[in-house]
Amino acid sequence: MSEKRCRKLVSTVEQAIDNIKRFACELSGSQVIESRLGYVQSWYAISLASGGWIFAPSKFVGYLENTAEKYLTYTSPPFEYDGRETERALGDWFETVDPETRLGRELHLALEAFLAKLGKQPNSRARINLPKSELPSEPLSGQIMEFRYQKRISMDPSICGGRPCIKGSRMRVSDLLQMMADGATREEICEDFPYIEPEDITAALLFAARASEHRVIRAA
């Protein structure tokens, strides 16, 4: 049997989601995989119950029970995975998020922060796909999500010169964004600053996404 025939595509969305979760574990310590992430054009993401997102490449997500060893073997000649094959397989359950929407900007900021920790930047053609079940079911959904988090941001003239901060603290939105750009994870930030919750970081990302439509967030 040929090597190509041995590579089985996922057949359910649950199998694809399991691969996304597995990628975070398989990535740990693999410098070879890390070195390739800046070239990935198609990313798949799921949200975490604790807040935030995790990502995995199409060629990892689309093949059944994938591992780091399989991924490295089959993304190298002569057994290269076929991205067109995985995109077709995943297209039934996932949809590309418009990068110009607030959700799209939040996702791209999160992807940038994830890759920055590995010393990489997203490919200029990078697109992010979510399970259709995680996409807003109607336009109002984004407004509801924004309202849910906007109460965590304050702009009090007596605190940090009125710059956007996490409510009840002097932690500026720009500080959180810089920490994530420097590679800090949500868990590390919350551990270093116990008064910051994962939802505060989500609020900061949403605020930044909205602010990017109109102006630059003042940091100083």
> Does one domain contain both 125 and 166?
no
Containing structural domain, residue 187: 140-211
Same domain, 83 and 186: no
Taking only the tens place, the pLDDT of each residue in 25-48 is 888 878 889 998 999 999 999 998
Average pLDDT of the chain to the nearest whole number:
83
User: What's the per-residue H, E or C state across 162-188?
Assistant: HCCEECCCCCEHHHHHHHHHCCCCHHH
> pLDDT at position 216, please?
42
Residue where a domain terminates, one of 76, 102, 134: 134
pLDDT tops 70 at residue 212: no
Say yes or no to pLDDT of 147 above 60.
no
Q: Does residue 141 register a pLDDT over 80?
A: no
Same domain, 103 and 171: no
Domain holding 151: CATH number? 1.10.10.10
Looking at the structure, tell me whether residues 81 and 126 fall in a common domain: yes
Q: What is the DSSP letter of 63?
A: B
pLDDT at 57: 95
Of 96, 116, 134, which residue constitutes the final position of a domain?
134
Do 14 and 108 belong to one domain?
yes
Domain count along the chain: 2
Q: Is residue 18 part of a domain?
A: yes
Residues 28, 120: one domain? yes
For the stretch 76-116, pLDDT in tens is 766 666 678 889 999 999 999 988 888 888 899 999 999 99
Residue 185 and residue 123 in one domain: no
In a domain, 79, yes or no: yes
Write down the pLDDT at residue 15.
97
Same domain, 38 and 106: yes
Question: What does DSSP say about strands 42-47 and 127-131: parallel, antiparallel, or unpaired?
Answer: parallel
Residue 170 near residue 160, CB atoms below 8 Å: yes
Q: Which of 86, 116, 134 is the last residue of a domain?
A: 134
The verdict on residue 219 lying in a domain is no
At a CB cut-off of 8 Å and minimum separation 6, what does 182 contact?
116
Is 61 in the same domain as 168?
no
The answer to whether residue 216 is domain-embedded is no
Tokens representing 199 are 């939802």
Q: Are residues 126 and 163 in the same domain?
A: no
Q: What are phi and psi of 128, to 5 degrees?
A: -120, 130
The answer to whether residues 169 and 106 belong to one domain is no
Please tell me the least confidently modeled range out of 92-96, 125-129, 149-153.
149-153
Residue 165's CB: how many other CB atoms inside 10 A?
A: 24
Residue 105 lies in a domain: yes
What lies within 8 Å, CB to CB, of 97 at 6+ separation is 103, 104, 107, 127, 128, 129, 130, 135
Determine the Cα–Cα distance for residues 123 and 100; give it in Å rounded to an integer: 17
Give the lowest-confidence range in 70-84, 114-128, 153-167.
70-84
Residue 220: inside a domain: no
